[in-house]
Amino acid sequence: MHNILTLATSPHWEDYDLLDSGNRRRLERFGKYTLSRPDPQAIWSPSLSDDEWKQCDAYYKQEREGKGYWIFNTNLPDKWVIAYKKLRFYARTTPFKHTGIFPEQAIHWDWIGERINARAQPTNILNLFAYTGGSTLACAEAGASVTHLDASKPAITWARENQIVSGLTNKPIRWIPDDALKFTAREIKRDVKYDGIILDPPVYGHGPAGETWDFYKDVPQLLENCRQLLSNSPLFIIINAYAVSASAVMLENLLSDMHIEGKIEVGELTLEESKSKRLLSTGIYGKWMSS
């Protein structure tokens, strides 16, 4: 029996709004700054006028091969703080159009926190491809011990800055710059166990020692490694996928291959435009949870 695909729409942030989307772009408010960024799937017409879009504080101009640059209408700081409930994150205008914050993930953060808070024993979480640490901080704030792994040392530095600004420096977070496949294989040999595992793998990437990552080639083995790392009473596995030319059904089949008793949910992560209430799909996710 197949699961019904779900639309997991992020709750509204006080410090973030998806103002509009269309013409292959999205218009967003991060704190007091409004940014216009490319979004190739937003091929519909915008709801707001051209004049409203032109009032943005910064505009990312896309060039060939995924490269581009920011055009600033306002003198933005190098970084500024964005709040989500008790968590705090630094936003930046990076050379790759990202800001370091994926607001659609907030629906996962809330769910993860609820699962960890409801557990009457210590919880050990592994966050792979953890980037700037949104899920890591959500787990830590809920009381879990977290292993945060990313191949990028600058991303880990950014995540640690977010830990500081969130006031979570006393929480047990282990920071690991490593290749996900190699690290999980070593953890299996060390007989380390985790109660929850989060994965945000890119389509392609490189490890800190030049290792290559290919989603379609490597994610089945990585999920098998994750299966072997689960404790005797695991809570969840969450896998998110961005810019993958496949469906959430693919993630359902991958999670089903793990043959773990429990429930699987798959679907699309979405953001809701604050004025028109139209939804923008940002990626796909798959979630295994204990019954």
Rounded-to-integer distance, Cα 58 and Cα 263, Å = 43
Q: Which two tokens stand for residue 156?
A: 């880990």
Residues 126 and 246 in one domain: yes
Q: Which two tokens stand for residue 51?
A: 């004049």
- pLDDT (0 to 100) of residue 269: 94
Sheet with 263-272: strands ordered across: 6-9, 263-272, 279-289, 236-241, 196-199, 124-128, 145-150, 173-177
Residues 62 and 196 in one domain: no
Residues 72 and 163 in one domain: no
Structural domain includes residue 266: yes
Rounded-to-integer distance, Cα 167 and Cα 7, Å = 32
- pLDDT (0 to 100) of residue 259: 92
Domain range for 20 = 13-83
Residues 201 and 258 in one domain: yes
**How many domains does the chain contain in total?**
2
Give 80's strand partners: 91
Structural domain includes residue 93: no
Residues 64 and 114 in one domain: no
Structural domain includes residue 4: no
pLDDT digits 0-9 by tens, 82-127 = 999 999 999 999 998 999 999 999 999 999 999 999 998 999 999 9
- pLDDT (0 to 100) of residue 1: 46
End-to-end CA distance of the chain: 16
User: Angle at the Cα of 98 (from 66 to 178), degrees rounded to 5?
Assistant: 90
pLDDT digits 0-9 by tens, 1-29 = 456 678 889 888 999 999 999 999 999 99
Give 21's strand partners: 26
pLDDT digits 0-9 by tens, 249-286 = 999 999 999 999 999 999 999 999 998 999 999 999 99
Residues 79 and 112 in one domain: no
What is the arithmetic mean of pLDDT over 61-87?
92
- pLDDT (0 to 100) of residue 179: 96
Q: Is 190 exposed, middle or buried (0-12, 13-18, 19+ CB in 10 A)?
A: exposed
